[in-house]
Structure 1
Amino acid sequence: MDNLHRIEKDFLGEKEIENDKYYGIQTLRAKENFNITTIEISIFPNFIISLAKVKKACALTNFELGDLTEVQKNAIVEACDMIIDGKYHDQFIVDPIQGGAGTSTNMNANEVIANIALEILGKKKGSYNIIHPNNHVNMSQSTNDAYPTAIKITLYELIFKLQDSLKILRDAFKNKAFEFKDILKMGRTQLQDAVPMTLGQEFKTFATMIDDDIFRLTTAQNLLKEVNLGATAIGTGINTKPQYQERVIKNLRCVTGTDYYKANDMIEATQDTGSFVQISAMLKSIAIKISKICNDLRLLSSGPRAGLNEINLPPMQPGSSIMPGKVNPVMPEVVNQVAFEVIGADTTISIASEHGQLQLNVFEPIIAYKLFISINMMRRAFESLADKCIKGITANPEICMNNVLNSATLVTSLNPILGYEKSSAVAKEALKSGKRVYDILLEQNLFSKEELDELLQPKNMVQNYDKI
């Protein structure tokens, strides 16, 4: 064998590995077998770091129990720390979607960590008699517990980042709510005129919807703290010492800084993907709400000449290859599409969770992939929406007020003064003649212009006007 390659063996045979690669034979087999997404697991750096944290916690525990030498432990821990610091991520080359319930990803981590550790000790890659991917790095573990634990750690930390993105979007809507608090407009139900409100109230509602979901995300996030690390194969804890489960969870807490805890029933926890389903459902709920908000923004800005045109979205790019001057609501549109993707991902996750058989759900790779993709897309979409759309929205107060004055339902707000019968007669006359309610009220001497203008002030037309 030349100096540029090494031979590695497994029970299926031998393979030639380039000597500058830190992964080994099982990783290479997976790379050859699973060319599905054409991307590599390293696209999710948080997940690679989470895997290294799991391996570090396990190495510390195995040393405490006398199953690793101090030299082995120190080398493995240092290798894990290097990965946690962002090094060697390019060595994680397996496809995120794979058969084997995540075994390929787990072995990719085991092999890379083993070979980094060997180099730390001044040994050649592949000197597995000193530090072995399975015997030492994967000691007291199975893919059945190490892999889902790493997924949960990743999701737990990604949710904080998603909440940060949601807060940016929420604050953008809050600022607009205050800016628009004095602009009276017509509220609508079933796309028909309803009763007056302020544009500020409309935007405050958007902020409140997002704020509610930031809180609900925390509730779902806490489900991820229950882990099955130490369960090994199917949850029985085979090949571990009696003290291992409690100690490895303690070390995981130290490594991550988060109070993860051991599942009460490890066999149940190894096959149950319920927490992933609930996280996915929460993501879908958020996506649906924000997509609805984007629909509203597109409607409110429609036209500009032949639509509602109550607000103006900032122009981001020419909107047509054939119609000069056309500008499209591209930022809400792209967020709509992200929402469609998240909703579809939830369906995939639901089916994958339901299709788990017996003591293990083998479809965790697609579950993890869809959750990671969804969260990352949502984060980028929400921050882009805030920065490139919401912050630049302007209002057309004259159009908003004209819609109020033109609507026959304006008289609803005057019911307490005119009474239902008189209000109905005014509304009927407005619909029949096409005149504005405002003008009819003046023509019939029901109010003076000064009285009517005062009644139509936002503070008099809208309850809780001053609570933006």
Structure 2
Amino acid sequence: MPDTRTETDSLGAIEVPADALYGAQTARAIANFPISGLKASPFLIRALAMIKHAAAEANESLGLITKEQGSAIQQAAQEIVHGRHHDHFVVDVFQAGAGVSLHMNTNEVIANRAGQILGEPPGTYKKLHPNDHVNYGQSTNDVFPTAMRLATLLALEDLYPVLNDLAASLDAKAREFKDILKAGRTHMQDAVPITLGQEFRAYTVAIQKCHQHIARTAESLRELGLGGSAVGTGLNTHPDYRQRAIDNLSRISGFELAPAEDLRYAMQSNAAMADVSAALRTLALELIRISNDLRLLSSGPNTGFNEIHLPSLQPGSSIMPGKVNPVLAELTAMVAFQVIGNDTATAYAVQAGQLELNVMMPTMAHNTLQSITILTNTLRQLDHHSIRGITANQERCAHYAARTIALATALNPYIGYAKAAALVKESVASGQSIVALAREKKLLTEEQIAEILDPKNMTEPRARKS
């Protein structure tokens, strides 16, 4: 059996692997774009297949393709949605503008698989053609932006529960640590006391707010330009096709989707992708901050803060025996840096459209979907293997809570800011605690010291006692 088959497109003949479900245009893309070795996200492949299913169903119902053709296309598309044939989607993520190469890769795979269902070997295209039937009434220019939006919605469905779980784990730690006093720090210097639980509760809220922000921005992805054809005018589509195709896609995908208010807008603008990417960037910024805090709080054990212990996951040095590093906190920061870079690339791509089309969509799709995927996988690991196993060094926390010079802040209403500042200077110079100096100088009664300089009483508002 020969290793290749000969296919012909508008540029002429080209050899295609004999067992490939893709065809001539995909083969040209493989030769033209050996760039990164990265292939399309499974979410994007599934989204494209869902669109082809929805379109075939609409076209069949309108009598534009035969029932036999429509059924075979839908069956082939469903197989792809369920994870089959993904190894035949071989176009590099860096490819021809607008996603033409990946779109034709999709049309060819579905046409050849549907042809097999109808009894034809790959590359025949007599009963069913990639352009004439799989792509009937469609253009890359309306299919790819629709697929990009739908793929992002699909990917986010994996991220949301991970964010929920992470927030829940942080909140569980907040409750566990609610009575553990420690020194607060601002400007990396001593500040008034806080509880470890209060710190972790703040992390909880940060993740919850990011989740809400991403979900709000994702709502705009539900507005689709499918049916706009080449430039948003609906050329070569049936008047009823647009609504039927989107209704079908809503049912197939499980999302409430709607036709865009203006098809030209939906083809020209990718602001929805910019919004979601920016929301992911905000999550990344918060994750960098939180991961840095975890690294600081666990630093040491003998020469750092050592206020919390992160689970030991692997040896931390090839030369220093016994060293253990905060590897998942480090990973989280590095992944977040990548997400920020991805957002920058997406932002540049979003502004780079001209007139009726933005041809930079492949990089928007790749970067946004990669950001969601690496965040999902990283935060799952961070939650399960780090956050849930955090323990507190209560003794170290209590030591710092008692020693922070900012305890003097509580004296302001009683002795004034200037005298309190002088007390701080003396504490730093002498090494005596604020409490010891207040007692030595008889600035307060013992009852007042117990009440006013108790670190626990500084962690929530209280009425002043005379």
Q: How does 1:31-430 map to 2 (within 5 A)?
A: 31-41=30-40, 44-417=41-414, 420=417, 423-430=420-427
Aligned-partner Cα distance in 1 for 2:366–2:309: 37
- Checking the alignment, whether the CA contact within 8 Å between 2:300 and 2:306 is kept in structure 1 is yes
| Aligned twin of 2:438 | 441
Can you list the C-alpha shifts for 1:41-75, whole angstroms capped at 9, x where unaligned?
A: 2xx22211111110011001111211111111111
Secondary structure in 1 matching 2:119: coil
Can you list the C-alpha shifts for 1:435-456, whole angstroms capped at 9, x where unaligned?
A: 1112123323455667645655
Can you list the C-alpha shifts for 1:339-365, whole angstroms capped at 9, x where unaligned?
A: 111111111111112222221111111
| Aligned twin of 1:16 | 15
Counterpart residue type for residue 38 of structure 1: G
Cα distance, 1:418 vs structure 2: 5.1
How has the CA–CA distance of structure 1 residues 391 and 450 changed in structure 2, closer, same or farther, with 3 Å as cutoff? farther
- Checking the alignment, whether the CA contact within 8 Å between 2:346 and 2:367 is kept in structure 1 is yes
Counterpart residue type for residue 318 of structure 1: P
Question: After the TM superposition, which segments of 4 or more aligned residues of structure 1 sit over 3 Å from their partners?
Answer: 2-5, 414-426, 444-459
Aligned-partner Cα distance in 2 for 1:236–1:299: 57
Aligned-partner Cα distance in 2 for 1:312–1:257: 43
Aligned-partner Cα distance in 1 for 2:239–2:386: 57
Cα distance, 1:324 vs structure 2: 2.3
How has the CA–CA distance of structure 1 residues 205 and 353 changed in structure 2, closer, same or farther, with 3 Å as cutoff? same
| Aligned twin of 1:29 | 28
- Checking the alignment, whether the CA contact within 8 Å between 2:170 and 2:387 is kept in structure 1 is yes
Aligned-partner Cα distance in 2 for 1:203–1:136: 56
Counterpart residue type for residue 172 of structure 2: N
Aligned-partner Cα distance in 2 for 1:325–1:72: 65
Cα distance, 1:458 vs structure 2: 5.7
Can you list the C-alpha shifts for 1:142-188, whole angstroms capped at 9, x where unaligned?
A: 00011111111110121121121111211121111111111111111
Report the more deviating stretch, 395-404 or 289-298: 395-404
Cα distance, 1:128 vs structure 2: 1.3
- Residue ranges of structure 2 left out of the alignment (5+ in a row): none
Q: How high is the TM-score relative to the length of structure 1?
A: 0.94
Aligned-partner Cα distance in 1 for 2:214–2:68: 42
Secondary structure in 1 matching 2:314: coil
- Checking the alignment, whether the CA contact within 8 Å between 2:402 and 2:455 is kept in structure 1 is no
Can you list the C-alpha shifts for 1:166-222, whole angstroms capped at 9, x where unaligned?
A: 112111211111111111111111111121111100011000000111111111110
Report the more deviating stretch, 123-132 or 138-147: 123-132
Can you list the C-alpha shifts for 1:222-243, whole angstroms capped at 9, x where unaligned?
A: 0100110000102111111222
| Aligned twin of 1:7 | 6
Report the more deviating stretch, 62-71 or 412-421: 412-421
RMSD: 1.9
Secondary structure in 2 matching 1:39: coil
Cα distance, 1:434 vs structure 2: 2.1
Report the more deviating stretch, 69-78 or 421-430: 421-430
Secondary structure in 2 matching 1:193: strand
Counterpart residue type for residue 174 of structure 2: A
Secondary structure in 1 matching 2:231: helix
Percent of aligned positions that are identical: 44
Aligned-partner Cα distance in 2 for 1:424–1:30: 71
Aligned-partner Cα distance in 1 for 2:104–2:352: 24
Counterpart residue type for residue 140 of structure 2: T
Aligned-partner Cα distance in 2 for 1:290–1:352: 25
